Amino acid sequence: MSSSDSHPLVSVVVPVYNSEKYICRCLDSILGQTYPNIEVVCVDDGSSDDSAAILDRYSVQDPARVIVVHQVNAGAAAARNNGVALACGKYLTFADNDDWLDADFVGELLEAALSSGADVVCSGYRRPDESGKIVLEAKPRPDDEWGPYVAEAAWAKLYRTDFIRDNHIEFLSTNILEDLYFSLPAVELANKVEVIRYCGYNWFWNTQSVSNTNQRTSEGLQFEQTLDALLSLMGEKGISFTPILLHYFVRLVAWFLLFTRKGDGWSTSHNNLQHYIGWLDMNVPSWRNDSYAKPAHPTGDAMANRLAVFLFAKHPKVFAAALKCYGLIG
C-alpha cells in the first residue's frame, strides 16, 4: 500500500472480541471508505466465537489492506496498543468491533488534518440502535469550549501516528473509562487540535444491554484507579491543570455517581458521593471553584451534563437530593 503527502496511508485499528454478529458490518464500512488508501489492523483478543475465522477470511480476500493478528485474551486496551504498534499509516484512527463508519469518515477527518496540520482531529458521533433509530447524536462545533472533548473515547478522532508514538500515548487496562488515558493526553499534548462539525462515527446502541447499563453498580469498577492513573500521567507528561481540565475531573465524578446510582442503591451511592468529594478535595483542591461549572458552560456540552456539574460543584446539597431522587426514576 503506497503512501504520499497528499494521499497518506491511514490505519484503522479494530480490537475484536467475540463479535461474530457485528464484525462484518464494521469491516465492510472501513473497507468501503471513499478514501482508498486505508489499512485495517484487526487484533483478535482471544475470541471464543467465530470472530477469528471471519477476520482470517477478510485477510485472505484483501491481504494488502487487512492485517490480522491473534493474541491471548488480554483486554481491549492491550489489543489497541498492539494495533497501534502494528499500524503502518501516517495517520491512525480506531473503531470498536460492533460500531461502523460512514463512507466519508476517513476522508473528512484526513482532509481536516492535512489542511490544518493538526496532530489530532476531533469529530462527533451518533448512537443508532438495532432498528437504526438514532438515540443520540453529538456534533461538535469548532468554537465550543467542550469541542475537543465531545467524544471522550479514542474513536471519532484521527491522530498523526508519529505524534502518538513520540509521546508514548497508550491505553490503560482498567474496566471503565480506559480510553481517557489515551484520548485526553492526545488532545492536551497536541501542537494543534482541529475540531470539525462532522458526525460519521456510529457508536452502536445495543438494546439488549440497556437494562444492564441502567443497573450498573460501582462494585468492581476501577473508576478511582483510572482517575489516579490520569493524574499520574498528567504529572509525568507535564500536562497543566487548566480550568477546562479541572472541570473535566469534576464532571467525571458527577457522571460516575449518576451512572452507578440506580444499581448501587442510595446507601452505597451516598457513601460514594462522600468518598469522591474527599478524593477531589485531596487531588483537585480547587474543584469547588470550577469556573466552567455553570448552566451555560462549557459550551458544546449537553445541558444535562452542565446542570449536573453545576449542582455538584456549587450546590452539593441539592445535587445529593437530586442523586437520591434519580435512583427512583425508571
Ordered per-residue pLDDT tens for the chain, 330 residues: 455 678 999 999 999 999 999 999 999 999 999 999 999 999 999 999 999 999 999 999 999 999 999 999 999 999 999 999 999 999 999 999 999 999 999 999 999 999 999 999 999 999 999 999 999 999 999 999 999 999 999 999 999 999 999 999 999 999 999 999 999 999 999 999 999 999 999 999 976 544 445 558 999 999 999 999 999 999 999 999 999 999 999 999 999 999 999 999 999 999 999 999 999 999 999 999 999 999 999 999 999 999 999 999 999 999 999 999 997 775
Q: Is 200 exposed, middle or buried (0-12, 13-18, 19+ CB in 10 A)?
A: buried
How many structural domains are present in the chain?
2
The whole-angstrom separation of Cα 221 and Cα 78 is 18
Residues 6+ apart with CB under 8 A from 263: 214, 215, 216, 217, 218
Omega of the bond leading into 15 within 30 degrees of 0 (cis): no
Cell of 311: 449542582
Ramachandran quadrant class, 174 (left: phi over 0; alpha: psi -120 to 50; beta: rest):
beta
Q: Which residue has the cell 482532509?
A: 111
Task: Annotate 71-109 with three-state secondary structure.
Answer: ECCCCHHHHHHHHHHHCCCCEEEECCCCCEECCCHHHHH
pLDDT at position 213: 52
Based on the fold, state whether residues 71 and 172 are members of the same structural domain: yes
Based on the fold, state whether residues 161 and 20 are members of the same structural domain: yes
Residue 294 lies in a domain: yes
Residue 3 lies in a domain: no
Residue 1 lies in a domain: no
Q: What is the DSSP letter of 220?
A: T
Based on the fold, state whether residues 307 and 191 are members of the same structural domain: no
Cell of 154: 479514542
Residues 6+ apart with CB under 8 A from 32: 103
Based on the fold, state whether residues 102 and 52 are members of the same structural domain: yes
Residue 230 lies in a domain: yes
Residue 4 lies in a domain: no
Based on the fold, state whether residues 223 and 205 are members of the same structural domain: no
Cell of 170: 497508550
- Note the pLDDT tens digit of each residue in 242-286: 999 999 999 999 999 999 999 999 999 999 999 999 999 999 999
Q: Which of 178, 210, 242 is at the close of a domain? A: 210
pLDDT at position 15: 98
Based on the fold, state whether residues 153 and 97 are members of the same structural domain: yes
Residue 2 lies in a domain: no
Based on the fold, state whether residues 176 and 273 are members of the same structural domain: no
What three-state secondary structure class fits 56? helix
Q: Please state the pTM of the whole predicted model.
A: 0.94
Q: Which residue has the cell 478514501?
A: 35
Residue at 308: amino acid letter: A
Q: Which residue has the cell 473508576?
A: 223
Q: How many CB atoms lie within 10 A of CB 291?
A: 13
pLDDT at position 206: 79
Cell of 207: 438494546
Based on the fold, state whether residues 169 and 42 are members of the same structural domain: yes
Based on the fold, state whether residues 203 and 227 are members of the same structural domain: no
Based on the fold, state whether residues 53 and 85 are members of the same structural domain: yes
Q: Which of 193, 210, 227 is at the close of a domain? A: 210
CA terminus-to-terminus distance, the chain: 52
Based on the fold, state whether residues 230 and 96 are members of the same structural domain: no
Cell of 292: 466552567
pLDDT at position 209: 47
Cell of 214: 441502567
Q: Judge whether 330 and 265 are in contact, CB under 8 Å.
A: no
Based on the fold, state whether residues 96 and 235 are members of the same structural domain: no
Q: What is the DSSP letter of 1?
A: -
The whole-angstrom separation of Cα 231 and Cα 61 is 45
Residue 283 lies in a domain: yes
Q: Which of 210, 242, 270 is at the close of a domain? A: 210
pLDDT at position 216: 85
Q: What is the CATH number of the domain that holds 147?
A: 3.90.550.10
Owning domain of residue 76: 10-210
Residue 307 lies in a domain: yes
The whole-angstrom separation of Cα 141 and Cα 123 is 9
